[in-house]
């Protein structure tokens, strides 16, 4: 299969973004001992951040996303889990959805929801 090198979109049009990857909760192992979780980590990556357009929004259930939400494009080697957050223009965003084009185009596209004060 031919693989397109579209990762240049993230590198050429992108900017350095600090992503906060959520930590994991602790758990009790099989012997009943507490195993502490991992704290949140900061990951720096080059990302192209684009606004959601009316065309994008028509494919989602009404109210799921708005024009305040964004698309985040990173190189295929950058694997960010859903729930990762970042700040941009005074707002905090959370990655909610992934489209993985790594096998064919060397990029990953996320949809990030702008978080409001007190929102889940």
pLDDT of 101 reads 85
28 assigned to some structural domain: no
Domain that holds residue 71: 8-22+37-115
Per-residue CA distances from 78 to 87, 94, 114, 118 (Å): 18, 16, 21, 29
The CATH code of the domain that includes 80 is 2.40.10.270
pLDDT of 31 reads 92
What are the average pLDDT values for consecutive 10-residue runs of the chain, which has 120 residues? 60 86 91 92 94 86 87 90 95 95 86 82
Q: Tally the domains of the chain.
A: 1
The dihedrals phi and psi of 17, each to the nearest 5 degrees, come to -125, 135
């Amino acid at each position: 299969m031919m693989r397109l090198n579209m990762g240049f979109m993230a590198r050429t049009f992108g900017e350095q973004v600090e992503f906060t990857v959520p930590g994991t909760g602790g758990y009790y192992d099989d012997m009943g001992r507490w195993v502490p979780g991992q704290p949140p980590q900061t990951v720096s990556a080059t990302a192209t951040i684009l606004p959601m357009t009316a065309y994008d929004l028509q494919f989602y259930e009404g109210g799921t996303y708005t024009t305040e939400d964004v698309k985040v494009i990173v190189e295929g080697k950058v694997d960010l889990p859903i729930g990762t957050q970042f700040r941009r223009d005074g707002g905090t965003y959370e990655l909610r959805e992934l489209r993985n084009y790594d096998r064919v185009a060397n990029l990953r596209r996320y949809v990030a929801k702008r978080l409001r004060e007190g929102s889940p």
